[in-house]
């Protein structure tokens, strides 16, 4: 079997430990991407300690509740599972498709 993730343009790793504040001002993944689109006007702030979410903040309370539920589905869904850097310089704007948007130059994490 073969699989692919197009367009190309991402380097990634599974981090051993992550601490800090991550501000999502682009898109949130999975079904939340199509539901909320570009978060430039209402960014989601994620505080991470010991590789796990410890605090969430967002002016959009519906998004905040949805993201909290999304990252509470099992014991590891609030754990940082990927740290990645998008490297495809041909991509210049967020379109709401996570497989493309994550390739835009910049950093993203995944839970």
Q: What is the average per-residue pLDDT within 26-40? A: 88
The 10s digit of each residue's pLDDT in 68-105 is 999 999 999 999 999 999 999 999 988 877 888 889 99
User: What stretch of H or E contains 99?
Assistant: helix 98-101
* Residue 3 banded pLDDT, cuts 50, 70, 90: low
d(CA 80, CA 20): 11
Instruction: For residue 51, tell me if it sits in a domain.
Output: yes
Instruction: For residue 64, tell me if it sits in a domain.
Output: yes
Percent of the chain whose predicted confidence (pLDDT) is above 90: 75
Cβ 78 vs Cβ 111: under 8 Å? yes
Instruction: For residue 63, tell me if it sits in a domain.
Output: yes
Q: What is the average per-residue pLDDT within 42-58? A: 98
Instruction: For residue 92, tell me if it sits in a domain.
Output: yes
Inter-CA distances, 88 with 13, 39, 68, Å: 17, 21, 30
Q: Is the pLDDT of residue 66 over 90?
A: yes
Instruction: For residue 39, tell me if it sits in a domain.
Output: yes
Instruction: For residue 89, tell me if it sits in a domain.
Output: yes
User: Domain of 77?
Assistant: 10-110
- Name the domain count of the chain: 1
């Amino acid at each position: 079997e073969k699989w692919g993730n197009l367009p190309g343009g991402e380097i990634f790793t599974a981090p051993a430990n992550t601490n800090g504040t991550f501000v999502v001002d682009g898109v949130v993944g999975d079904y939340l991407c199509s539901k909320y689109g570009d978060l430039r006007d209402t960014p989601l702030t994620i505080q991470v300690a010991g590789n796990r979410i410890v605090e969430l903040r967002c002016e959009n309370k519906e998004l905040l509740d949805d993201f909290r539920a999304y990252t509470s589905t099992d014991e590891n869904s609030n754990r940082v599972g990927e740290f990645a850097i998008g490297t495809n310089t041909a991509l210049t704007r967020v379109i709401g498709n996570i497989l493309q948007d994550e390739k835009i130059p910049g950093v993203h994490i995944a839970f």
